[in-house]
Structure 1
Amino acid sequence: MKRQKGNRRKSDWKAAYLLMAPALILILVIAVYPVLQSMYFSLFDYKLNDPTQSKTTTHYSIDLQRYLNDMPFLMGDIQNDLPKVTGKDHDVFNKVSNQLTAIDNKIKKETGSRYTKVNTILNNFKTPSDELSQVRISKSTAVALQQTANQVEKELAPYQDSKVLTNAKKDYGLATGLGDALIKPNFIGLQHYKTYLQDPRMWAALLHTVTFTIISVFIEFVLGLAIALLINKAFFGRGLIRATVLVPWAVPTAISAMMWRYLYDGQSGIIAKFFQKIGIIHDMGTLLTTTNGAMSSVILADVWKTTPYMALLLLAGLQVIPESLYEAAAIDGANKWKQFVRITLPLLKTSILVALLFRTLDAFRVFDLIYVLTGGGPANSTETISIYAYKVMFSQTDFGGGSALSVIVFFCVAIISIIFVKLLGSELLPEGSKN
């Protein structure tokens, strides 16, 4: 019997895992893969505005297109001028010619037929593809190329303004650009994290994010709970009120941000004018042009936008609480406040967890509202960690640094989730499963 029960349990577990497999694969693809990809990019000095760092690489390569645009002309000029000079100058140019010939032969041997193909394409005034022109080379060849480029540049430096060389300035320019054909590995490990964890701007952005999250979520929770309690009661027109309350949440965030930007306008904004009238601000332009004004404006816009969402989540929790509990409490003499404290809040704890968790995560990852409303200004006073990551990744085209900031955001969100589950999530488990 015990064996049969054990076999049944094993078969049940297998069936459960098979049923969960599609969901787990979907989570892995949609949720985990982008995080792993960001973690991978963060380990590289990956910058799209630099051709030598426009992709992730752990090995040395040479861009034959750039190399062959410089080397043949530099070698040709030196070798053509070599018979025309004597003495010390002849020795210098002869040395340079031998160095260039040696490294060119080494690169020809290592790159093989692709050297000839790229050279032929360039001679026909066409542009080779990156797949053809960028060739992997050994570290020793890469070091030799860099050393040769440095030595040739040093040797030709005294001649750039002289008439000893026919094309002195051009040749010196070719020599200085020779090393640019070398594509070095851009793997830097955890350097991005070290840099940003010591970056005052990153910590300031994180502080702005935490400030925005705590204040906005707290206000939204208080107002959302009050609205949920109100619309949970039976009264005439309740359905219309519920639908009306959800209108701000239904408006796309970018559109609501643009709407609030007009409302906050320092010349014609209605909200700005109203706040000035009642004495909250001294000048209409204060809202979007000062540090405290901008942060307060962003928080107010977010509260207007997402309080209905908080109310909706809490309303769902209120509707599963049996009315019989309130009737029994009323018979026992409990007033409304005691009913709220002893019945509503304890039984609403799970819904509060879900509402606070969702809103906190959303608020911590806020981007579109602040980006449209203030752009992170003035003077980065409303710049959140997500906006900072966006600026680094897309404005500066630093995908490595931006990915590192994105990973930092991910870990912050993970920590927030763990804290919420630890503090309130135990209520979701049966008593016997807590041990």
Structure 2
Amino acid sequence: MPRKGKKSFQVNEKQLGYLMVLPAILIILAVIIWPIGQSMYNSLFDYRLNDPERSQTMLSSEVDLERYIDNHFFLEGTLEDVLETAEGEPWQEEAESAIAGISEYHEQLRNEDEVAERYDTVEEMVNSFEVVADQDLKYASIDSDLSESYEEALLNAQDLMNEQAVDADEEDESLFMDASSQIGAVDRALLSSNFIGLSHYTNYFQDSRMWQSLANTFIFTGISVALELFLGLMIALVIHRAFIGRGVVRAAVLIPWAIPTAVSAMMWRYLLDGQSGVIAHYLEQLNLIGDSSTMLSTAIGGMSSVILADVWKTTPYMALLILAGLQTINYGLYEAAEVDGANKLQRFFFITIPMLKSTILVALLFRTLDAFRVFDLIYVLTGGGPANATEVISVYAYTTLFSQQNFGGGSALSVIVFLCIALISIIFIKLIGSDLFEGKTGNS
């Protein structure tokens, strides 16, 4: 019998198409979708890096074993001294009850499944002065009811220590204050769940600063993009014409766009400075502003400054996109219109603008999305000032994330930025740009 050959692996055309775009999809998932999903997840927690009790996301109660073991070791010795001091005192029975409660909850904590698995290992590392870098080893989940009961017992004991410190002599006062401090340290090692759901979003929707930063974002985006479109169209029409030195002019026009944003922001900061700024000086001389310091020290001046800097830098980008569209227009259309008696203005509005509609749409989409998420220009030029007058939503999110180290709140603001950008994209494509896809879908 003839030997059957091994069947080769085959895919149809549709499967081949999916396989070819798979690497791009994986990159998008890793670079875009994953960070967005992580931000959405973090926004559901009261996640603060400057607060040890909220320095990670927790869906259930946990204990920081490193801090707990370290502080409980000292607390045990201090509480023994407290019991000795309490002998024969009216509050002896209350002290014994409080300390016995702490000991009982400590044993219950040690018997928790995850704690029992890791306690001895972490204790050995703490006694050896080793840092517990492994987060899975450092933190252990515990029963929420046990955590609440233990915290209540610790707080009652702490209140008792504070009460006794009021009327105690100097030596005993120091003992009671040490005990109170150590009880507080142990209590802070017991971490409650910091899951708060959509609370960040409800708080921000009632936050006047968030709405002001969002309004600043729309004002900046609307004015700057409109000016860039108008000036970019004018520049594109000029450099589209044939004249001597056109190549040099085209290259020179692109220089502002080629300069890094942070560098151009620093440059404009010096040019608009109230004491040494050349631009600010001439604006004052032309009576366009009352004082040279106005541009960076007032709300209107600050917003005008960032818009001016952005228009100067990104108008060449708009001009470049429109110039590409102009070069696709068939010159025969202009010749035919001229034969029919159309003047230059009519040819511009009835030929140039309609033929540039798709190009203008793409340019507006790119620039609107880019302007809406502006950060570096404003952060370097004004820092969001004066008095938050130029603080856009991206700067507010950065301040919340890194200056305040509120990762939960900052992540919520980042999600709001993402939703706004997604909404803008949908509006552009569904309402304005639907003509781009007419005739390109369906069966061919």
TM-score, normalized by the shorter chain, greater than 0.5: yes
Answer yes or no: is 1:119 the counterpart of 2:123.
Answer: yes
What whole-Å deviation, never above 9, does each CA across 1:382-432 have from its counterpart, x for those lacking one? 000000000000000111111110110011111111111123212212348
- Match of 2:63, SS state, is strand
C-alpha distance in 2 between matches for 1:179 and 1:81? 18
- Match of 2:140, SS state, is strand
Q: Is the CA contact 1:81–1:166 (under 8 Å) kept in the aligned structure 2?
A: no
Report what 2:77 is aligned to: 76
Q: How many equivalent pairs are there? A: 426
Report what 2:92 is aligned to: 90
Q: Is the CA contact 1:349–1:424 (under 8 Å) kept in the aligned structure 2?
A: no
C-alpha distance in 1 between matches for 2:239 and 2:131? 68
C-alpha distance in 2 between matches for 1:396 and 1:291? 24
* Cα drift, residue 165 of structure 1: 7.6
Q: Is the CA contact 1:229–1:315 (under 8 Å) kept in the aligned structure 2?
A: yes
Report what 2:65 is aligned to: 64
What whole-Å deviation, never above 9, does each CA across 1:305-338 have from its counterpart, x for those lacking one? 0000000000111100011111111111111111
Answer yes or no: is 1:312 the counterpart of 2:314.
Answer: no
C-alpha distance in 2 between matches for 1:87 and 1:62? 34
Mapping for residues 2-401 of structure 1, pairs under 5 Å: 11-82=12-83, 85-86=87-88, 88-110=90-112, 111-112=115-116, 114-129=118-133, 131=135, 132-161=137-166, 162-163=168-169, 167-401=175-409
* Cα drift, residue 100 of structure 1: 1.8
The alpha-carbon distance between structure 1 residues 125 and 346, as it changes in their structure 2 partners (threshold 3 A), is closer
Report what 1:425 is aligned to: 433
The alpha-carbon distance between structure 1 residues 432 and 91, as it changes in their structure 2 partners (threshold 3 A), is closer
Q: Is the CA contact 2:223–2:307 (under 8 Å) kept in the aligned structure 1?
A: yes
Gaps of 5+ in 1: 1-9
Q: Is the CA contact 1:48–1:399 (under 8 Å) kept in the aligned structure 2?
A: yes
Q: Is the CA contact 1:63–1:183 (under 8 Å) kept in the aligned structure 2?
A: yes
- Match of 2:390, SS state, is coil
* Cα drift, residue 106 of structure 1: 1.1
- Match of 1:18, SS state, is helix
C-alpha distance in 2 between matches for 1:166 and 1:250? 66
* Cα drift, residue 166 of structure 1: 7.8
Q: Is the CA contact 2:95–2:157 (under 8 Å) kept in the aligned structure 1?
A: no
Q: Pick which of 380-389 and 138-147 moved more.
A: 138-147
Q: Is the CA contact 2:102–2:150 (under 8 Å) kept in the aligned structure 1?
A: no
The alpha-carbon distance between structure 1 residues 108 and 327, as it changes in their structure 2 partners (threshold 3 A), is same
RMSD over aligned CA atoms reads: 2.1
- Aligned AA for 2:48? K
Q: Is the CA contact 2:82–2:175 (under 8 Å) kept in the aligned structure 1?
A: no
* Cα drift, residue 59 of structure 1: 1.8
- Match of 1:88, SS state, is coil
C-alpha distance in 2 between matches for 1:22 and 1:188? 36
- Aligned AA for 2:230? V
The alpha-carbon distance between structure 1 residues 166 and 250, as it changes in their structure 2 partners (threshold 3 A), is closer
Gaps of 5+ in 2: 1-10
What whole-Å deviation, never above 9, does each CA across 1:67-87 have from its counterpart, x for those lacking one? 233333333333344355126
- Match of 2:47, SS state, is coil
The alpha-carbon distance between structure 1 residues 274 and 51, as it changes in their structure 2 partners (threshold 3 A), is same
- Aligned AA for 1:230? V
C-alpha distance in 1 between matches for 2:440 and 2:66? 70
The alpha-carbon distance between structure 1 residues 152 and 81, as it changes in their structure 2 partners (threshold 3 A), is closer
- Match of 1:112, SS state, is helix
| Length-normalised TM-score, structure 1 | 0.93
| Length-normalised TM-score, structure 2 | 0.91
What whole-Å deviation, never above 9, does each CA across 1:224-245 have from its counterpart, x for those lacking one? 0011111111121111111111
* Cα drift, residue 45 of structure 1: 1.2
The alpha-carbon distance between structure 1 residues 130 and 148, as it changes in their structure 2 partners (threshold 3 A), is farther
Q: Is the CA contact 2:158–2:179 (under 8 Å) kept in the aligned structure 1?
A: no
Q: Is the CA contact 2:162–2:176 (under 8 Å) kept in the aligned structure 1?
A: no
